[in-house]
A and B are shown apart, each in its own frame.
Chain A
Amino acid sequence: MLSAVPISWFLTLSAVLFALGVAGFLFRRNIITVFMSIELMLNAVNLSFVTFSYHYKSVDGHLFTFFVMVVAAAEAAVGLAIILTVFKNRGTLNIDDVDSMKN
């Protein structure tokens, strides 16, 4: 069944998802949205890993996917904690307002 779908479709979907993630990351100002964009990019990459893994009949891609998922989970935990602290301290989620490193 899957074989009916050409590999390029999966890769295209992955690329589109990644591009969406990048766009969201670049153009949205809400930290949460930015954060979700990052997750989107990670999962786009996961998709291409799985695709190639299936295509080449190799387990490496799957392995990497698990790694990425673990890292993403950790990142979500730390990232959300940071976001909460930022919101507590500054009362804003606008990413452009968090620039105290400047100067």
Chain B
Amino acid sequence: MQLWLIPILPLAGFLINGILGRRFSKSLVNAVAIGSVVLSFLWVLKTLLALGALQEPHLEHYFTWIQSGDLVVNCDFMVDRLTAVFLLVVTGVGLLIHIYATGYMAHEGGYYRFFAYLNLFMFFMLVLVLGASYLLLFVGWEGVGLCSYLLIGFYFDKKFATDAGNKAFIVNRIGDFGFSLAMFLIFRNFQSLEFSQVFTKASSAQEWVLTTIGLLLMVGACGKSAQIPLYVWLPDAMAGPTPVSALIHAATMVTAGVYMTARSNVIYNHAPGAASVIAIIGVATAFLAATIGITQNDIKKVFAYSTVSQLGYMFVGIGSGAYAAGVWHVVTHAFFKALLFLGAGSVIHALGGEQDLRNMGGLRKKTPITFWTMCCAWVAISGVPPFAGFYSKDAILAAAYEHSPAIYWVGVITAGITAFYVSRAMFLAFFGEPRGHHHPHESPPVMWIPLAILGVLSLAGGFLFNIPEYLRDIFPPIHEADNPALVYISVAIGFAGIALAYLMYVARPGMADSLANALKAPYQLIYNKYFVDELYDATVVKPLVGGSRLVLWKGVDAGLIDGTVNGVGARARDVGSVLRLLQSGNIRSYAAWVLFGGVALIVMMGLAGGIR
């Protein structure tokens, strides 16, 4: 089926734009960048139609990438239903965001560079979901990390942007450390890295091995999908242009961790301990990030913490064994979070770069299309039935209740907080009186058409795409008691969050500030993101750099090792400096020494009794 065409097309776009793009006009750059993604999307559609029901995974072998003894890594691509879902989300949402970006980036420098990176990202993301072995998945995994680094640091003359890029790459590397160790263990135990082989052998492996592998894979997923303790890079990643935040840091790349853990479901099914850890980390992240989201004033930061929080939900789904629900949330989240970010981008665009919620307000009238499309995302993320987020979040929470009621309750409270902070952002931006000194204008059609499409998907995505049904063969549904009370509770909490936000930011606007003043200490703690960055800086970064400089470099290298070597040299020189007195450089003194030596020799021979 020529699966390789799917990722190769964006790669070609990257190469053309990357090498020649500087000489291209903007429309030519657009044509190459969008054209390659359109072709890729169409090829995905054609492939999936041709493959039909996909009851069995479809595998294609291209070449052997690495071979060393028994260790063989093939370059194989595979499509099954899980991959199909991700392929459609990545190329579909990716295409919309590409189109949007042509409007958003129209007045930015480095236009061709931006689209080249975006295409490169598409390539790696598609390799990630198509790869038929852990190592190929890892190729895409690292590659999307690279593109994330490049795009976060897109404005490379700004130090905060490049700092954020470095942070993203390095924190992800810490996650990859876990992922790669997991791969090494997988090969050590199963003699293969190919999914089909690994999963066949995994079901008969010892539990502690699978638990270790599962936990190490989870470390990798925590890095890429921004979970505790490695979530710190994602909020900073908002330094990149907004379409990047939508595509990479909301809709696709950050869900790679969910894809990987869902793909490894066989391992987690046999390692319940590791799965529980995932669920706990997921719910803790969801709650923590949601609370931070309440206090942020930068509209993109609010949505960034929201992303971290929603990814936490997906992990709750994975950890509770409801892989299909997790993947479903990936899909719906891709719709509504991409929409929120693109909408935020549209607002920022309208206000000429303003990102602070405190300087917005009253945009409902000025940018009606943006407002109404973002409303779709608002109701979707708040869990209002029957919109997209309601279905997937509800499926996750129901599974979580089966797994552990405690996780369910934290999850429900988080749902309320979610509804609250999104409503807060919406009220602050679109309601009330304008607070800034801007002259807002609605975005051009090339930007609002993708918004509209995503809006429709956010509203209807839930009942249109029944992902758990589609993935039934891969992830058998877990038996859960039909408990309508759970649904009522989460819906009620969602409405309560919206209502509270309305009360605090529309009905009685002073209330939020007075509440913040009343609860100064906790507010400061949350506003400063629990001081996690500062904690990492003080406990890891500073000791590492300082220790390396003072102890290792100046101490061990220059002091101990060179000191020892130089010490040996110095002793040798001391001996030499005594001996060199003989070598005066004066020829006549040498001659005198020769004479002295000759006489001494004769005297000694005489004393010894002469030569016989």
A touching B, CB within 8 angstroms = yes
9-residue interface stretch from A2-10, A49-57, A67-75, A94-102? A94-102
A24 to chain B, nearest CB (A): 10
Query: Complex Cα distance A99/B587, Å?
Result: 8
Complex interface residues of chain B between 579 and 612 (CB less than 8 A to chain A): 583-588, 591-592, 595
Q: A22-B595, A26-B592 are in contact. Are A95 and B585 (CB under 8 A)?
A: no
Are A25's CB and B591's CB within 8 A?
yes
A50-103 residues with Cβ-Cβ distance < 8 A to B are 95-96, 98-103
Contact check: which of B583, B588, B592 meets A95 at CB < 8 Å?
A: B588
- A95–B591 Cα gap in the complex (Å)? 12
Q: List residues of B (552-598) whose CB comes within 8 Å of A's CBs.
A: 583-588, 591-592, 595
Q: Chain A, interface size: which category? A: 10 to 19
> Could you tell me the distance in whole angstroms from the C-beta of B595 to the nearest C-beta in chain A?
6
CB-CB under 8 A from A34, the residues of chain B are 587
Q: Report whether A101 and B585 are in contact in the complex, using a CB–CB cutoff of 8 Å.
A: yes
What CA separation (Å) do A47 and B65 show in the bound complex?
Answer: 87
- Contact code string A22-35 (vs B, CB < 8 Å = 1, else 0): 10011101000010
- Give the residues in chain B near A29, CB-CB below 8 Å: 588
B595 surroundings in chain A (CB, below 8 A): 22, 26
- Chain B residue with the shortest CB-CB distance to A103: B585
What are 9 A-to-B residue pairs whose CB atoms are below 8 Å?
A22-B591, A25-B588, A26-B588, A34-B587, A96-B587, A99-B587, A100-B585, A101-B585, A102-B586
A95 and B587 within 8 A (CB): yes
* A98 adjacent to B587 (CB under 8 Å): yes
User: How many Å from the CB of A52 to the closest CB on chain B?
Assistant: 15
Q: A26-B588, A96-B587, A102-B583 given. 12 additional CB < 8 A pairs?
A: A26-B591, A26-B595, A27-B588, A34-B587, A98-B587, A99-B587, A101-B583, A101-B585, A102-B584, A102-B585, A102-B586, A103-B585
Complex CA gap A103/B580 in Å reads 10
Instruction: Closest B residue to A102 by CB, please name it.
Output: B585
Q: How far is the CA of A89 from the CA of B585 in the complex (A)?
A: 18
Write the residues of chain B forming the contact surface with A, with a CB cutoff of 8 angstroms: 583-588, 591-592, 595
Given contacts A22-B595, A26-B595, contact A96 B588 (CB under 8 A): yes
CA–CA, A25 and B591, complex, Å: 7
Name the A residues within 8 Å of B587 (CB-CB).
34, 95-96, 98-99
Taking CB atoms, residues of chain B closer than 8 Å to A25 are 588, 591
Q: Residues of A contacting B585 with CB < 8 Å?
A: 99-103
- Identify the 3 closest CB pairs spanning chains A and B, nearest first: A102-B585, A99-B585, A101-B585
Provide the residues of chain A in CB contact with B584, threshold 8 Å.
99, 102
Instruction: Return A95 CB to nearest CB of chain B, in Å.
Output: 5
Bound CA span A102–B586, Å: 8
Query: Which residues in A have their C-beta under 8 angstroms from that of B592?
Result: 26
Contacts of B588 in A (CB 8 A): 25-27, 29, 95-96
Find the B residue at minimum CB distance from A31: B587
Q: In the assembly, what is the distance between CA of A26 and CA of B595, in Å?
A: 9
A22 CB contacts on chain B under 8 angstroms: 591, 595
Shortest beta-carbon distance, A90 to chain B, in Å?
A: 14
C-alpha gap A42/B409 in the complex (Å): 112
Can you name the residue of chain A whose Cβ is closest to the Cβ of B595?
A22
CB-nearest residue of chain B to A25: B591
Smallest distance from the beta carbon of A99 to chain B beta carbons, Å? 4
A99 touches B591 (CB 8 A): no
Q: In whole angstroms, how far apart are the Cα atoms of A101 and B583 in the complex?
A: 9
Residues of chain A lying within 8 A (CB to CB) of residue B586: 96, 99, 102
**How far is B587's CA from A26's CA once the two chains are assembled, in angstroms?**
9
Residues of B contacting A101 with CB < 8 Å? 583, 585
Please indicate the chain B residues that have their CB under 8 angstroms from the CB of A98 in the complex.
587
Q: Which residue of chain B has the shortest Cβ distance to A38 in the bound complex?
A: B591
Write the chain B residue with the least CB distance to A96.
Answer: B586
Q: How far is the CB of B596 from chain A (nearest CB, A)?
A: 11
CB distance from B197 to the nearest CB of A (A): 73
**Residues of the B chain whose Cβ atoms lie less than 8 Å from the Cβ of A96:** 586-588
The CA-CA distance from A22 to B592 in the complex, in Å, is 9
CA distance A38 to B35 in the complex (A): 95
Q: What is the CB-to-nearest-CB distance from B586 to chain A, in angstroms, rounded to a whole number?
A: 6
Given the complex, which residues of B lie within 8 Å of A102, measured CB to CB? 583-586
Nearest residue in B to A29 (C-beta to C-beta)?
Answer: B588
Min Cβ gap B564→A in Å is 28
The closest CB in chain A to the CB of B588 belongs to A26
Distance, CA A102 to CA B595, complexed state (A): 21
Output the nearest chain A residue to B587 by Cβ-Cβ distance.
A95
Q: Whole-angstrom distance from the CB of B287 to the nearest CB of chain A? A: 77
